[in-house]
Amino acid sequence: MFLDYYNLSPLLMQIHAFLCSVMPEWLALTLEGLVVGVFILVMYAVLAIILIYMERKVCAAFQCRIGPNRVGGKGGLLQVPADVLKILTKEIISLKHSDHFLYALAPFLVILASILTFSCLPWNKGGEILHMNIGIFFVLAASSIGVLGILLAGWSSNSKYTLIGAVRSGAMIISYELSIGLSVLTMVVMSGAMDIQTIVEGQANGWNIFKGHIPAIMAFIIYLIAGNAEANRGPFDLAEAEQELTAGYHTEYSGMHFGFFYLAEYLNLFITAGIATTLFLGGWMPLHIAGLDGLNMVMDYIPGFVWFIGKTFFIVFLLMWIRWTFPRLRIDQVLTLEWKYLMPLSLVVLLLMTVCKVFGLTF
Amino acid sequence: MNISLQEIVFYIVGACIIACSILAVTTGKILRAATYLLFVLLGTGAIYGILGYTFLSAVQLMVYAGGIVVLYVFSILLTQSDKNMKYKINRAKLISVLLTIVIGAALVLFLVMTNGFALNLIPQGVELPVENIGHALIGTGKYQFVLPFEVVSVLLLACMIGAILIARKQK
């Protein structure tokens, strides 16, 4: 097969065999688990820094500003690392008359859900971290824990603003999970598999968004809208409605506790984009145009993870574009949009896709 | 001693489940109880994962952790039932509780002793293919469950209609 020279699994198998030859298997497995865990956390932090820098630059461009431009040379490249150092040294305040255990736990629940879904992304051929035959369903399931962290954060801060903010954000996230689930289900019907690697490999002869034509494009748009809401961003950033809720559910958090919410927001953005890449834009599959064999050959020489990260950042850019273009919705508008328009539409798209699939109308 | 890595993980998860179950019923605050319940459900999901039944593990996460517990927390937040729940237990109640525990433990022990564990029923380290689960869920043959599946959907429909009736504004 044409993609095999970037397949990671033979290399990983060799490393595993080597480790097993010098130490017992359980020790090898534990060590590998530790290394992979550290790798996930490092990727998580590095991506967050890149995304925050990108957000500030994109936002500035849309508002005809320059953005960070002082710290670290002309582009302000060291602005975000400096901010990270600052937030690491900030005091973590504790509140009177609040449940300290739940207050401290809530950010970790949010970050747990985010890391679990993060480790399901298909980085490369043979480069998946959590691999199961129900992959995409696990992603949906794990991401549904995050809302609990938000609710607990709002309640345990012992403040009216955070409680209202948490109930609003929670209601929004639970509602938009329906649309996300239905549009993912549409693509599962399309590719006939829930395994993330199988979904990606099924797109070797064309990305799903081209193979599934009308229903796939509609599902893509629904997914982007609902994904923006799931990540608490874009026109759905109710938590940031300063004039009514101060800062929503994370008003009372400081230092790294707030940092966790912030980190999770940006990584959820990346995960949303990554899952969209996997489902619609072919994951790590290179772009092929039928008939142009020379071009296809060149595309094949670009490694899979470059394709995956490139496409994901393209969708991240789309989502930022949405965020900085549309005004914020009110809570009733948010819920109306979901329950009266988006969810019925995604049911129709699911039906349409099933009909197309049954009558062989997809490519 | 010959313990596999799987067994070690199982015992750790099991210990967490037991600890959180006890905490869930002994804690004084209702929202903390819901949180400990969440950990118990996450642990159960992890055990399904160890068994290789990842579908049930994800269903456990989705339905219980992401659905039921969220529902509990939401209703606790909306009803403001934020009182301390340290009730005094009188003697009659205590005796009946102890009796129930003893009878329950005896029943479980009896079942385990008489039947034993089905040790090699599930192949270790192999995932159950999701096609088999799908065919079993909506097939009509022997050991296939289309009728319960449909009955449950009727039940859910009834719940939804009931909820809409209750929540509807009076004219």
Which of A108, A137, A139 should one mutate to test binding to chain B, selecting the residue with the greatest count of B CBs within 10 A?
A137
pTM, full prediction: 0.86
**CA–CA gap between residue A354 and residue A190 (Å, rounded):** 8
Query: pLDDT tens digits for A173-222?
Result: 888 888 999 999 998 888 888 888 888 888 877 788 878 788 888 999 99
Cβ–Cβ contact B28 with A under 8 A: no
- Which DSSP helix (H) or strand (E) runs through A344? helix A343-358
pLDDT, residue B158, reads 94
pLDDT, residue B98, reads 92
Query: pLDDT tens digits for B1-16?
Result: 456 777 888 889 999 9
Q: What is the mean pLDDT of residues B56-84?
A: 81
End-to-end CA distance of chain B: 72
A311 token code pair: 């496409």
Closest-CA residue of A relative to B60 is A141
A280 token code pair: 């619609």
Domain extent listing, chain B: 1-86
Mean pLDDT, all residues of chain A: 84
**CA–CA gap between residue A131 and residue A337 (Å, rounded):** 35
Q: Is residue A230 part of a domain?
A: yes
User: Among partner residues B5, B42, B67, which is closest to A26 by beta-carbon distance?
Assistant: B5
Second-level CATH architecture of B1-86: Up-down Bundle (1.20)
End-to-end CA distance of chain A: 21
d(CA A234, nearest CA chain B) in Å: 23
Cα–Cα distance list, A198 to A192, A227, B52 (Å): 9, 22, 19
**B136 confidence band (pLDDT: 50, 70, 90):** confident
Q: Is residue A37 part of a domain?
A: yes
Q: Is residue A363 part of a domain?
A: no
Q: Is residue A16 part of a domain?
A: yes
User: Among partner residues A132, A154, A167, which is closest to B54 by beta-carbon distance?
Assistant: A132
Q: Is residue A4 part of a domain?
A: no
Closest-CA residue of A relative to B59 is A141
Q: Is residue A191 part of a domain?
A: yes
Contact A133 B59 (CB under 8 A): no
Least confident of A196-210, A228-242, A316-330: A228-242
pLDDT, residue A1, reads 45
**Degrees (nearest 5) of the Cα angle A143, A116, A89?**
100
Residue span of the structural domain in which A64 resides: 9-358
